[in-house]
With several copies, the nearest count.
Chain A
Amino acid sequence: MIRVAVQPAAIDIAAELDLHDAGGHGASASFIGRVRGDGDLTELFLDHHPAMTAAGLADLAHAAADRWQLSALTLIHRVGAMVPGETIVFVLTSSPHRAEALAACEFLIDRLKTDVMLWKRETFVDGRVRWVEPREGDGTRADRWNA
């Protein structure tokens, strides 16, 4: 069961775990990415493409499901304005085998950073606004999965 969502609403981890976990799968791996409050950041805004962002997440989810033996996969990305501590992204993968769940989870979060139409904009307490630049390491981590 694949569940993918792009939403302006807060991500409810407990609710997502409940939705996901109906089958009592052997192993689940998850990743939660949150807004960090470093350097007096007051707001993180996530820009997206109404159709392509959701399609990009769905493509990634199906790529993971093709590559690993997964019994369930949840991939939720928030968009719009959020504040430090709020959840930006939640990935949850389940499999009879722990190695498959762990690898799929890591694949999804790595490729999310390079393959999906999402852009972060930071606002700071002094009023500065800055679009986040991709980090070198993001491409390197994402490319590991091309082998």
Chain B
Amino acid sequence: MTLQIAYFAWVRERMGVADETVDLPAGVTNVSSLVAWLAARDARGQVAFAEPQRIRAAIDGVMMGLDAPLAGAREVALFPPVTGG
């Protein structure tokens, strides 16, 4: 399964890219396992996702919990808690 991933704020800075397209390995079925896979994939991912509890996600434009399934997703956004206003 192919997935677009977009990064924001310090997650983007630590990943060094704003977005990428990945081929998801089997077993990466929800946001949590995606974050764990990215953290394990390389040094940038290890730094960006060292604290998964500080990561928030949106799937195809809708904010979702970390247990949200990826089946059918086109784009996942990964980012820190928001600080607007």
Contacts and interface: CB of A to CB of B under 8 A. Distances in A.
Contact of B84 (A51, A55, A120): A120
B72 interface: no
B80 to A, nearest CB: 6
B83 interface: yes
Q: Interface on chain A toward B: helix, strand, loop, or mixed SS?
A: mixed
A70 B8 CA distance: 34
Interface residues of A, number: 28
Given A49-B8, A51-B61, A131-B9, A119 B79 contact: yes
Interface in A43-100: 46-49, 51-52, 55, 77, 88-89, 98
B9 A121 contact: yes
A117 B8 contact: yes
A47 to B, nearest CB: 5
B33 to A, nearest CB: 23
Interface in A106-147: 109, 112-121, 131-134, 138
A33 interface: yes
Nearest to B9: A119
B84 to A, nearest CB: 3
A9 to B, nearest CB: 17
Given A52-B58, A55-B61, A47 B85 contact: no
A134 B82 contact: yes
A69 B6 CA distance: 38
Interface of B: 6, 8-10, 12, 58, 61, 63, 77, 79-85
Given A98-B85, A118-B82, A118-B83, 14 more contacts: A33-B85, A47-B12, A55-B61, A89-B84, A89-B85, A112-B85, A119-B8, A119-B79, A120-B83, A131-B9, A131-B10, A131-B83, A132-B83, A138-B85
